Amino acid sequence: MACFGCKKLSSRKDSILCWLLFAIHLIEPKERVVHYSKGFWNRAPKNYWLSINRLADKFKYGCDVNPFLSKSLKNAMLDKRADLLWTDWEIHHFHLNEEVSVDSDYSKRSDYVLFAIVGDDFVCFLDVKKHPPLGSPDYADSELYGIICDSWPNLIDDLKNFAPDKDWSKEEILQFRKQGLNVCYSHNGKVLALGGNFVAGGKPIRSIILRDKIHFEIRKLSERIIECTEKQYKNFSENDFSLKMDSDGLKLCFTLENSCAPLSSPTINEFFNKKWLVAKLRKNEYKHCEN
């Protein structure tokens, strides 16, 4: 059974994947406990301490911190809508500027950025460094990886049956990422797995898995719809159905009745129907991918 709406969506550069590449990088506004790496305040420039504390307060009180993320999430080209640092090591970088632009809904870019790992109920502040230029190997600096290993080893799996091959340079790591290659990293003689999140082409494997799950869930929903409507409409086809994303979430539209109904399933609800997330559409923060 065809997945209603998915065929039409594929003509627009895979709309579901396009949305997921935007959505999975975002951080849900909720209260989180803030942790600091060993020696964090010794490394952080003193003139940024106030901005760091203000960002920490936003995490503590559940404020929206997405305006301080990278703008690459809004890239109109599907192949460029990615944050390779986050995809590989799940490290976000935040700009330390309080002023949010009305036109772009992002904060003004700062000379220094804060690197952090964000969990469901916690955030780990790793380091503050001068903002590397786009495409710089500094985003692949293993020093960030080492900070995680030394401060929160529980966040990384230890591959006990492997021996370290070599320590990859940041230039090599950057090339691996661009080619969508997954490698293990070594620190203090141990082989550790923090990466493993790429598929060929450099996209996060999580986005591909989620897209497939959503296709599956829509397919199951479409089968139920057929059972309910085939007695009333004898000659309808999948071309009579389409998916619509608006400020209320994901909907299935039926042209024969000129109506749309909300879709609900575990994955769809997680990435399409949360109010804080679909609000990004109303604020025009999201751009569809182009060919």
pLDDT for residue 239 = 67
Cβ proximity of 245 and 281 under 8 Å: yes
Percentage above 90 pLDDT, the chain: 27
pLDDT for residue 95 = 94
Gap between the Cα atoms of 41 and 89, Å rounded: 22
Cβ proximity of 110 and 132 under 8 Å: no
- The average pLDDT across 12-39 equals 87
pLDDT for residue 71 = 79
- Listed in order, strand segments (DSSP E) in 161-212 are 185-187, 190-193
Gap between the Cα atoms of 207 and 221, Å rounded: 21
Q: Which two tokens stand for residue 196?
A: 């493993």
Q: Which two tokens stand for residue 259?
A: 């109506």
Backbone angles phi, psi at 252, to 5 degrees: -105, 125
Residue-averaged pLDDT of the chain: 80
Amino acid at 248: D
pLDDT tens-digit readout, 188-224: 777 766 655 777 667 788 888 998 998 888 888 877 7
Is the predicted pLDDT of residue 7 greater than 70, yes or no?
no
pLDDT for residue 248 = 77
Residue with the two structure tokens 């997945």: 3
Q: Which two tokens stand for residue 13?
A: 């550069």
pLDDT tens-digit readout, 73-131: 666 455 566 688 888 888 999 999 877 766 667 888 899 999 999 999 999 999 999 99
